Amino acid sequence: MQNIITVTNLQKSFKNNHVLKGVDFTVRKGSIFALLGSNGAGKTTCVKILSTLTKADGGSATICGHDVFKQADDVRSVISLTGQYAAVDETLTGRENLRLIGALKRLKDSNAQADKFLAKVNLDDAGDKYVRTYSGGMRRRLDIAMSLMGNPEVIFLDEPTTGLDPQNRIALWDMIAQLADNGTTILLTTQYLEEAEYLADHIAILHEGKITAEGSPEELKKILPIGEISLEFATPDVTKKAQELLKDYKLKVGRKTIEVATDGSTQQLADILNLVNNNGINVTRFTQSQPSLEDVFLTLIGERKND
């Protein structure tokens, strides 16, 4: 798969606030790339630079082979941006909003395109209603439909589900995933860990102006080679015997439970279970857990410390 976005050493400051300090990443064609970070990490600044709304202080970036800094008009012809707040006209109907965008983009079939994208975002029945009557989820879906007019190759979604209730958030996730399945490349910024994990093929964690880690959700979880096995025993006496057997591991011991820190491998799980079983100790129940994306994120940004 080819890289459709390439960012190298991107830098941006606002007076004494150095927001981007050398950001590097690539986005593959037809993928969903999530830029994950806390509020103020620089996610929106990065999107504004790539969508030609803000000038960078240094570095380079290309989209579909076009230089973002030197060929801004060419970049605008292949991208679309949905910002944090729905950019819709409340005095128009949903259909009129779409037709307006079609006219601005000089689409020959803007009326047909408006009908097509109303259907794509499940707003057929609301197309002739004024947008001021729309719910937050409906406005956001209309906003994305407006971004899709003209079939851009790349869509920037800057925190698209902020302020939405869980039902509308999940519905929007499914719509974004479908766009990628149909070949659209999506760069998504978010502060929601579950959103990044649900949607993204590749995640880059932006912290203090730099990418601190990137990879698929599963690859990022492997950054913390720490798993945990929780063992439950019938009585406190049995638990004490198991504790003595497992003394070479890092343990958290309860009255009838022991939590064992592991490297997360199935081999170590088997070793621990065999050790207690071969010494006549019966485990009444066990569970195994791996580090979550939240564990990785909070550790990388310094909010959670591990031994």
Residue 270 belongs to a domain with what CATH number?
3.30.70.790
303 part of a folded domain: no
305 part of a folded domain: no
Taking 3-state DSSP, the helix, strand and coil percentages for the chain, each rounded to the nearest 5, stand at: 35, 30, 35
Last residue of a domain, one of 174, 192, 218: 218
Separation between Cα atoms, residue 205 and residue 172, nearest integer Å: 22
User: What pTM did the predictor assign?
Assistant: 0.79
Q: Which amino acid is at 248?
A: D
101 part of a folded domain: yes
Q: Do residues 233 and 194 both lie within one domain?
A: no
Report how far apart the first and last C-alpha atoms of the chain are (Å, whole number): 39
CA distances from 135 to 141, 142, 306 (A): 10, 11, 43
Q: Do residues 243 and 200 both lie within one domain?
A: no
pLDDT band at 162 (very low <50, low <70, confident <90, very high): confident
Q: Do residues 213 and 258 both lie within one domain?
A: no
Give the count of domains, the chain: 2
Sequence-ordered list of residues with C-beta below 8 angstroms from that of 180, at least 6 positions apart, any chain: 30, 31, 32, 186, 201
Sequence-ordered list of residues with C-beta below 8 angstroms from that of 138, at least 6 positions apart, any chain: 94, 123, 126
Q: What percent of the chain has pLDDT over 70?
A: 98
Nearest-5° Cα angle at 187, 147 to 299: 145
pLDDT band at 305 (very low <50, low <70, confident <90, very high): very low
Last residue of a domain, one of 159, 191, 218: 218
Sequence-ordered list of residues with C-beta below 8 angstroms from that of 85, at least 6 positions apart, any chain: none
Q: Do residues 159 and 36 both lie within one domain?
A: yes
Can you give the pLDDT at residue 42?
Answer: 92
Backbone angles phi, psi at 60, to 5 degrees: -145, 160
Q: Do residues 266 and 156 both lie within one domain?
A: no
Question: What sign does the CA torsion over 207, 211, 212, 215 have?
Answer: positive
Q: Which domain holds residue 250?
A: 227-290
Q: Do residues 274 and 192 both lie within one domain?
A: no
Can you give the pLDDT at residue 262?
Answer: 84
Return mean pLDDT, the chain. Answer: 90
Can you give the pLDDT at residue 1?
Answer: 58
DSSP H helix total and E strand total for the chain: 11, 14
Q: Do residues 208 and 65 both lie within one domain?
A: yes
297 part of a folded domain: no
Q: Do residues 206 and 237 both lie within one domain?
A: no
Q: Do residues 183 and 240 both lie within one domain?
A: no
18 part of a folded domain: yes
298 part of a folded domain: no
Sequence-ordered list of residues with C-beta below 8 angstroms from that of 65, at least 6 positions apart, any chain: none
Q: Do residues 177 and 283 both lie within one domain?
A: no
* Closest by Cα among 234, 233, 305 to 246: 233
Q: Which two tokens stand for residue 212?
A: 């601190």
Rg value, the chain, Cα: 25
Q: Report the CATH number at residue 189.
A: 3.40.50.300
Last residue of a domain, one of 218, 240, 257: 218
Among 80-84, 182-186, 206-210, 223-227, whose mean pLDDT is lowest? 223-227
Separation between Cα atoms, residue 27 and residue 1, nearest integer Å: 10
306 part of a folded domain: no
Can you give the pLDDT at residue 225?
Answer: 65
In the three-class reduction of DSSP (H, G, I as helix; E, B as strand; rest coil), residue 186 is classed as strand
Q: Identify whether the C-beta of residue 203 lies closer than 8 Å to the C-beta of residue 196.
A: yes
252 part of a folded domain: yes
